Amino acid sequence: MSINVGDRLPEASFVKATENGPEQISAADYFKGRRVALFSVPGAFTPTCSVKHLPGYVERADELKAKGVDEIACTAVNDAFVLGAWSKANNAGETVTMLADGNGEFARAIGLEMDGSAYGMGQRSQRYAMIVNDGVVEQLHVEAPGEFKVSSADHLIETL
């Protein structure tokens, strides 16, 4: 069963790539006391994720913040080193915080995992975007398989 609007995020942890190396952070601590636009991609460096999804959030970050978003974060079932390299390759470091879900713990905990085995990707996260306000899901936009519409920065800005 997947998470719904009004639900509190379950306990899980992420890993952030920092200047001092990987840093583990709990979801409860990360989302506490702020409004975060969180989007998830099936994988760093994949076509739609790299050409459309991440760049949209980088380009429209100021508009999201003007609508009351304190931080923009991206999660994927990739390790922190891959997400760090992807962030650098897309000049996203100052704009989007990368939260690695390397083992898919968060994706499973919120019921939004997907099986990408047919593409050689194993277990991944579905493509989605959500607004999390102090740990509670305020908005949730999950893409249909193969789609890229409702999880875009454009759509999220329209709904805020």
Of residues 94, 85, 35, the one with CA closest to residue 65:
35
pLDDT of residue 84: 93
pLDDT of residue 93: 84
C-alpha 23/C-alpha 67 separation (Å) is 29
pLDDT of residue 57: 97
pLDDT of residue 116: 82
pLDDT of residue 79: 94
| Surface-to-core class of residue 141, CB atoms within 10 Å of its CB (0-12 exposed, 13-18 middle, 19+ buried) | middle
pLDDT of residue 56: 95
> pTM, whole model, 2 decimals?
0.94
Beta strands in 9-109 (DSSP E): 13-18, 21-26, 35-40, 71-76, 96-100
CATH class of 13-159: alpha beta
pLDDT of residue 115: 84
pLDDT of residue 105: 95
Domain assignments of the chain as residue spans, ordered by start: 13-159
Catalytic residues: 49
Q: Answer whether 132's CB lies under 8 Å from 31's CB.
A: yes
In order along the chain (160 residues), what is the average pLDDT of each group of 10 residues? 94 90 93 97 86 92 97 96 93 93 96 87 91 98 94 97
